[in-house]
Structure 1
Amino acid sequence: MSTLAPERPDAAEPEERPPVEKPRPPLLSSRWLWALGIIGLWIVIWAVTKGNDTLELAGRERTSVHDALAGFRDDVLASRDSNPIIQLTYEIGGWFNSFVDWLQRMISVENFPRPVPEVGWLGVTAVATWIGLAIAGWRIAILVALSFLSFGVFDYWSGAIDLLIVTFVAVGVSVLIGLPLAVLLGTGNRVVHSVMTTALDIFQTMPTFVYLAPVALFFGIGASGAVVCTLLYALPPIIRVAGHGIRTVSETTIEATDSAGQTRWQRLTKVQLPMARRTIVVGLNQTILAALSMATIAAFIDGPGAGQDVLDSLKTVDTGGGFVPGALIVVIAIMLDRTTTAASEYSERAARGGVDLRRRRIVLAVAAVPVIVCLYLSRQYPWAAEFEETGWRTRLADLVNDFFDWFTDVFRDVTQGFKDLISAVLLNPLESLLAESPWWLVAAALLGLAFVLGGLRALLPTVVCVAGLLYFGLWNDAMITLNMTLVGTVLVMVLALVFGVWMARSPKMDLVLRPLLDTGQTIPPFVYMIPVLALFGTTRFSAIVAGVVYAAPVAIKLVADGVKGVSASTLEATRSTGSTTWQEITKVQLPMARGHLVLAANQGLLYVLAMAVIGGLVGAGGLGYDVVLGFARSEEWGFGAAAGISIVLLGIMVDRIARGAADKTSR
């Protein structure tokens, strides 16, 4: 049946009206204009007052707060034998030490008087491969086998296995503690949810480096400190993600099962947990990757594993020597990421009947036979118990050093020119504005920006954080770190806008870049410093570039997802008016994706801040250097502790301002 009305030749043709253009949201709202006004006023006052009241400490000057923190450390150490809390923490640390030591003697180092581990490399590789086959299929089994073989081939078997031991011990404890807390987060009332979310926000805002000093003080260094700081850093992802999965189970489903008279325990175990299983596995995946990242950084407190080799290479600027263990850490990250993801998909397929369980049991039983044979061989024969040195580690390190020597010689002018350009245009002017302004001017500007961009929800935390930065006496160093963080964030957002928009508008580019970005997000931050050092040397710029590379993947994906989320009908309407591609991007897609842009900037800030701290090892200055100094010299412990707390305050402040801006933009 036709819906077209018959033509009426005698009817007057209606007058055509121009299409009414719907108002588009402006890129700069009034509050952003207010923010620009505050910055402009700041610059005017800075031009007159710069160099005064900067609160810069002279030489080795320390404040009474630094001395008080050092005294607290001394009191803790002195009361180790009498304080019940310290005794408890050291006893927990002793348990972790003993358990990690037992696992090491089982699979990674000699178990005296036996000159090799109880289970050699062949048996460990076979068991790991069989587990990969059991939980995720044969493709993952091959990936696991090749990954474990690479540890031995490149002469890093003990270091890689030790890193895995620390990671999995921490993950095991994190799951035992995190899942009950996730249930509480997912089923608790609004007050419980709000309190727990705030605590998780604070933990996830803290850069990884900051966990080390207090953990080393209360639990000791070595395996114990490495496990504790790793599990503390790995806890928030599983609590937050699993709790979200439990909380978002359909209310209709819950009401339907409640009508059958089930108890709260039955509802949790038979409805909420099974329906949130996929999300819980995603949380486990994030926890494993976070644990690996932190276990690598725990080398700073003598944690076992390949992170020690990366740290030693950073100290001596040995690019090739750090590249090999760094590459193996990347292999471990990719292996763990792909295994947990594939295991989730495999279990979902099995639950829906997509896997022949009888055939699977037969395959696993048959595959167990060679595993048992490999275990026997690894206990009886030296060649199967300990990898013979292949020399590939040294050869690859030499090749990498030769490549970077050639690259830096050929492109020295390019890299130096890029560094000089960014320093002249962004880094030096912004540092002068932040570090040379009177403290009261910077504080007033930060409070004004917080209120204008994020309202009272951003202003109140900013007041507390600014007061804290002043109290801990490292205001000038905090401004230097904030400067590096802001410059890094600007560079991150440039990359995010270019590649994010490109990915959103080109499915082919999305197909090419997304796997690379996923891989980039699995690499521990420590590893990024190695190639950057070779290109830019031991300067603050190296820390900024490493932070940009570390933060870019997540920011690019957020921008791409936001731009891609603009509806096709909106774009069609825009194209019908004759808009160019540039107009479509700048006047429609980017304004409508503002929430994602601000969130990308927020994540970029936090990721770059984390690397600015690690950059203290390579001459970055600021709070990162202060923390490293506190680790290196016991008499500077109070100074380093104050720097660590200041980093936390700085991270919370920029996070709350950015979150407040994102919330207001979304609304």
Structure 2
Amino acid sequence: MNNPKDRRPVEPGAAPPVVEDSGISRWVPALAIVVLWVVAWVLTKGTHTLDLPSLSRTDLHDRLTEIQNGLLESRSTNPFMQFTNAIADVFRSTVDWFQRLLSKPAFPRPVPQIGWLGVTAIATYVGLVVAGWRIALLVVASFLSFGVLGYWDPSMDTLIVVLISVLLAIIIGMPLAVWIGTSARANAVVTVFLDLMQTMPTFVYLLPIVLFFGIGTSAAVVATLIYSLPPIIRIAGFGIREVPTTTIEATDSSGQTYWQRLFKVQLPMARKTIIVGLNQTTLAALSMATLASFVDGPGLGKPVLQGLRVNDVGTAFVPGVLIVVMAVMLDRTTTAASERSERIARGGGHANPLQRRIVVLGGAVVALVAVYLSRTYVSLAEFPTYGIGRSISTAVSDFVSWITTNFGGVTGGLKDGVTDWLLNPVQSVLAESPWYVSFLGIAALALVFGGMRALAVCVVCLLGIRYLDLWHDAMITLNMTLVATVLVMALALVFGVWMARDRRVDLGIRPLLDAGQTIPPFVYLIPVLALFGPSRFTAIVAGIVYAAPAAIKLVADGVKGVSPTTIEAGRSTGQTTWQEITKVQLPMAKGSLVLATNQGLLYVLSMTVIGGLVGAGALGFDVVYGFSRSEAWGKGAAAGLTIVLLGVMLDRITRAAADVRRDDGPGTRRAFNVRLPIGPPGT
């Protein structure tokens, strides 16, 4: 803690003195722990590492597989399995109906019931009504790109899964949001489950869902629904909870009932925040809907997965680009709808109500005519076949081959350098130490950085990882996550400080970061795979690219929030720019730095697991192996649980470290403690 004797009074109106943060001293015992760990590794290297061959299984894994087999055999008699089967049938039938309506041939008609022209017209009309003519143009351009590039049916399938999941998320999530927004006790209970759901990487959701709902469209809808629920519950609940108390007291004094206060005051005043929650839920749904292709879910994820499996970047590129187009379209539409609703709530809606009615009615007529034409003419029902998509795929494949031929030495040298000098040494200490040495080392570091609370969670998670018989793979995954997070934070510090100190840089970089956060994580593997080929380094680089936007923005906002008077006081003493950054801005933004590290860890962990698809190995491969081989389901389930324990452990340690720093005295800045979803956050 800071020494009270060092706190000297200041003149009235002067900036407070910069107080050195005692948190730096934590690195002294941390360094001592690492040194002892390395010494123990040198003396005991390679013993008791619990290394399990990649295709081997333990008795625990086989017992888990037997549980799965027992549940599958009792599908027709087990009440819970009958219930999940009924839900799966409902989802399957619903998706089939939408497919016949929008994209698939419906017997006896050889064309969809509403063709591409009608679907495009309806979507454009919705964009016009809820967000304005600019968004309408974006929507029509997006839908035309789906067809022109040759992926109309997969694009419609992805939108169908997203639409159904988001509608169900609203129906289920809004009552829960109201509950946690109006009850502090409910908020405390539900937040625990939301934290767990948002800590769990996307890939891990699929294992239990396949067990209870099978594969195909039903599994895709259930996985997408579950993954997209937390954002709308948390964000909408926050908006309702933030309605001013004085406003609520005023409504109570007028005799309003609970329901009147909710529908006439709280929900209208939280409208903008609720739509932001809808935005996050929609992007999370798109992220999971594309990843659900791994369990035979329909949509654009299938051709992406096919390209990744055969290391054909050209095959994966075009559907990957269309996923990004769809994400941008959904993000901008919901964001514009939020801004428009806020203007209307403040009385700043359409300047000419009559003109607005004419546009709405005229647009409806045009949409109906387009639907009629698409049901009448085959050419307006089935999108014409173009070879543009195939031509682009071929060109991308040729370009990747050219890059590999001419710059393979550069990319290979970078990969080998990071692997030999950073990745392998850290992995040796983590994975080649006896398991109990790594256990004690990680627990000791948790105690140093997070205190007793972090230690308790860490010990429980480590014991769970040891019990699940995948300790060695867990340490390799932890190594990839830590190395990638270090590189993410290096980027975050450089670009975050640069953005905070130069407004022009902020205006130039922030839109790129926003766009980066809109892209689903599955898509990041495509360009990285093209540059570095299948390897664990590919997963690490994809994780860095995926996690960097969120970390950079958190660092930039934290540094930007440092009081200008404090900065001016430092400049008046003759500080250099480097001293100002290292002795004032970064120390006072440490809460934001720790939060950025927290988010970077979780984002990177999510991507390193998905990296199992491109040769990352370790727990990601174990999950993939469990999916592909029924006899290895237990190992995949154990790997999924291990990933969850790793995520919870890393999350709690970094959050506890942030809480400790908030108590370090006036030299530190309070962190903005908000849980962000894993997936494309968009905020």
Scaled by the length of structure 2, the TM-score of the pair is: 0.93
CA distance in 2, matches of 1:328, 1:371: 24
Which one-letter code corresponds to 2:210 in the other structure? Answer: A
Q: Does residue 319 of the first structure (1) align with residue 322 of the second (2)?
A: no
Aligned to 1:4: none
Aligned to 2:243: 249
What is the DSSP-based 3-state SS (H/G/I as helix, E as strand, rest coil) of the residue aligned with 1:455? helix
Shift in Å at residue 23 of structure 1?
A: 4.1
Q: Does residue 433 of the first structure (1) align with residue 429 of the second (2)?
A: yes
Which one-letter code corresponds to 1:56 in the other structure? Answer: D
Q: Does residue 563 of the first structure (1) align with residue 555 of the second (2)?
A: no
Shift in Å at residue 457 of structure 1?
A: 2.2
- What are the equivalent positions in structure 2 for 1:64-213 lying under 5 Å apart? 64-190=59-185, 192-213=186-207
Aligned to 1:44: 39
Aligned to 1:308: 302
Q: Does residue 238 of the first structure (1) align with residue 237 of the second (2)?
A: no
Contact 1:24 1:587 in 2 (8 A): no
Aligned to 1:3: none
What is the DSSP-based 3-state SS (H/G/I as helix, E as strand, rest coil) of the residue aligned with 1:29? helix
Aligned to 2:458: 462
Aligned to 1:329: 323
Deviations 1:145-185 (A, max 9, x none): 00000000000000011000001100111110001111111
Contact 2:272 2:341 in 1 (8 A): no
Which one-letter code corresponds to 2:397 in the other structure? Answer: N
CA distance in 2, matches of 1:382, 1:72: 51
Shift in Å at residue 256 of structure 1?
A: 1.4
Which one-letter code corresponds to 1:587 in the other structure? Answer: K
Which one-letter code corresponds to 2:201 in the other structure? Answer: P
Decide whether aligned partners of structure 1 residues 369 and 430 sit closer, same or farther in structure 2, where only a CA change above 3 A counts: same
Aligned to 1:541: 537
482-491 or 354-363, which deviates more: 354-363
Deviations 1:308-348 (A, max 9, x none): 01000000111111010000000000000000000011122
Which one-letter code corresponds to 1:220 in the other structure? Answer: G
Decide whether aligned partners of structure 1 residues 352 and 248 sit closer, same or farther in structure 2, where only a CA change above 3 A counts: closer
- What are the equivalent positions in structure 2 for 1:389-400 lying under 5 Å apart? 389-400=385-396
What is the DSSP-based 3-state SS (H/G/I as helix, E as strand, rest coil) of the residue aligned with 1:598? helix
Shift in Å at residue 280 of structure 1?
A: 0.7
What is the DSSP-based 3-state SS (H/G/I as helix, E as strand, rest coil) of the residue aligned with 2:648? helix
CA distance in 2, matches of 1:593, 1:412: 40
337-346 or 407-416, which deviates more: 407-416
Shift in Å at residue 59 of structure 1?
A: 5.6
Contact 2:612 2:618 in 1 (8 A): yes
Contact 1:606 1:651 in 2 (8 A): yes
437-446 or 223-232, which deviates more: 437-446
Which one-letter code corresponds to 1:576 in the other structure? Answer: S
Shift in Å at residue 525 of structure 1?
A: 0.4
Structure 2 gaps, min length 5: 1-13, 664-683
CA distance in 2, matches of 1:243, 1:373: 41
Aligned to 1:12: none
Q: Does residue 366 of the first structure (1) align with residue 343 of the second (2)?
A: no
Structure 1 gaps, min length 5: 1-18
Aligned to 2:20: 25
Aligned to 2:672: none
Contact 1:27 1:591 in 2 (8 A): no
Shift in Å at residue 446 of structure 1?
A: 1.4
CA distance in 2, matches of 1:292, 1:357: 35
Which one-letter code corresponds to 2:59 in the other structure? Answer: S
What is the DSSP-based 3-state SS (H/G/I as helix, E as strand, rest coil) of the residue aligned with 2:516? helix
529-538 or 356-365, which deviates more: 356-365
How high is the sequence identity, in percent, across the aligned residues? 62
Which one-letter code corresponds to 1:332 in the other structure? Answer: M
Aligned to 2:479: 483
Which one-letter code corresponds to 2:508 in the other structure? Answer: V
381-390 or 257-266, which deviates more: 257-266
Root mean square deviation of aligned Cα: 1.3
- What are the equivalent positions in structure 2 for 1:244-643 lying under 5 Å apart? 244-354=238-348, 355=350, 356-643=352-639
Decide whether aligned partners of structure 1 residues 60 and 406 sit closer, same or farther in structure 2, where only a CA change above 3 A counts: closer
346-355 or 509-518, which deviates more: 346-355
What is the DSSP-based 3-state SS (H/G/I as helix, E as strand, rest coil) of the residue aligned with 2:56? coil
Deviations 1:253-283 (A, max 9, x none): 1111111122222221111111111111111
CA distance in 2, matches of 1:275, 1:216: 40
Which one-letter code corresponds to 2:174 in the other structure? Answer: L
Decide whether aligned partners of structure 1 residues 59 and 506 sit closer, same or farther in structure 2, where only a CA change above 3 A counts: closer
CA distance in 2, matches of 1:518, 1:196: 29
Q: Deviating runs (4+, > 3 A) in structure 1?
A: 58-61
CA distance in 2, matches of 1:632, 1:66: 15
397-406 or 336-345, which deviates more: 397-406
CA distance in 2, matches of 1:549, 1:102: 38
Contact 2:524 2:546 in 1 (8 A): yes
Counterpart selection for 1:217 from 171, 194, 211: 211
CA distance in 2, matches of 1:79, 1:556: 50
Decide whether aligned partners of structure 1 residues 317 and 20 sit closer, same or farther in structure 2, where only a CA change above 3 A counts: closer
CA distance in 2, matches of 1:349, 1:594: 36
CA distance in 2, matches of 1:44, 1:555: 33
Shift in Å at residue 33 of structure 1?
A: 2.5
CA distance in 1, matches of 2:97, 2:23: 60
Shift in Å at residue 27 of structure 1?
A: 7.8
CA distance in 2, matches of 1:548, 1:255: 48
Shift in Å at residue 225 of structure 1?
A: 0.3
Shift in Å at residue 62 of structure 1?
A: 2.1
Shift in Å at residue 571 of structure 1?
A: 1.1
Contact 2:206 2:223 in 1 (8 A): yes
Decide whether aligned partners of structure 1 residues 250 and 634 sit closer, same or farther in structure 2, where only a CA change above 3 A counts: same
Deviations 1:28-50 (A, max 9, x none): 53333222222222122212112
Shift in Å at residue 138 of structure 1?
A: 0.2
Shift in Å at residue 24 of structure 1?
A: 3.1
CA distance in 2, matches of 1:164, 1:319: 24
What is the DSSP-based 3-state SS (H/G/I as helix, E as strand, rest coil) of the residue aligned with 1:221? coil
CA distance in 1, matches of 2:63, 2:15: 68
Aligned to 2:668: none
Scaled by the length of structure 1, the TM-score of the pair is: 0.95
CA distance in 1, matches of 2:194, 2:363: 43
What is the DSSP-based 3-state SS (H/G/I as helix, E as strand, rest coil) of the residue aligned with 1:300? helix
What is the DSSP-based 3-state SS (H/G/I as helix, E as strand, rest coil) of the residue aligned with 2:575? coil
CA distance in 1, matches of 2:29, 2:322: 49
Contact 1:25 1:592 in 2 (8 A): no
CA distance in 1, matches of 2:59, 2:234: 38
Which one-letter code corresponds to 1:512 in the other structure? Answer: G
Which one-letter code corresponds to 2:87 in the other structure? Answer: I
Contact 2:457 2:649 in 1 (8 A): yes
Aligned to 1:6: none
